[in-house]
Amino acid sequence: MKFSILDVETTGFSPQNGDRVVEIGVIRMDENGHITTAFDSLINPESEEVGPTHVHGITSAMVQNAPLFKDVTGPLLDALDGTIVVAHNASFDMGFLRTEFSRAHITLPKFRPLCTLILARRYLSHLSSKSLESCRSHLGLSNAGAHNALADARATAQVLQYFLENHPEIEFPEAFQSPGQKKVEGEMLFDFAGPILKPRG
C-alpha cells in the first residue's frame, strides 16, 4: 500500500471562479510509512494575480518563470500513479487538481481520496478546530513552513502516520490509476533527502 500526500497553494478558494494553483507539493510514502520521493513546483497561474502572498509567501515575481500547470502534468501523474491519494481537506485540493488537469485537456478518472480532515473529525473530535495547524499542534509536530505546499504535504503525511498507527480500522479507497502520460524526466520528481522546504526562487 502506497500513499501520495499532496497540498496546493492557490490564488483563492474557487477554481470554478477562475482561481489557479500557484504551488503544488506531493510526498510519496511507502507501506511502512517511510517518505520515499517528493514532487514540488511553483506554478505560473498565467496572470500576475497570485492571491494572498501574506499567507503562502508567493509573489508574482517568483512564479513569472515557473512552469505552467500543463507542463508538470507528466511528473505529477507519475507521482500519484498507483497510490492512495491523501490531502487535508481533500475536496479543496481535488477541486483545483481536476480543474487544472481539465485546462490541460486531461480528464482524471473518478477516484476517492483519503481525507485527513475527515479522519480528524472522527478521531480528534475533542479539538475545537480540525485544521492542519491544529492537528500539528495537538500531535506535537513542527509548524515550520506552514502554507508551503511541500511542508504542508509533509505535515499531512505525519498526521496520516498517526492515524494509521492508532486506528488500524481505517478503510482505504482504491489507488489512483493514471489516465495518461507518465514517466516524464525532470528535476521536479526527486528522492526525498534533507530539508523538506525546497528553496523557492
| Residues carrying an active site annotation | 147
Query: Strand, helix or coil at 121?
Result: helix
Q: Cell 491544529 sits at which residue?
A: 134
* Residue 37, all three cell numbers: 520521493
> What whole-number distance in Å separates Cα of residue 114 and Cα of residue 166?
16
Start-to-end CA span in the chain (Å): 35
Q: What radius of gyration do the chain's Cα atoms show?
A: 16
Residue 18 per-residue DSSP state: T
50 and 63 Cβ atoms separated by less than 8 Å: yes
Extract the C-alpha cell encoding 161: 502516520
Report the alpha-carbon distance of residue 201 to residue 187 in Å, rounded.
Answer: 15
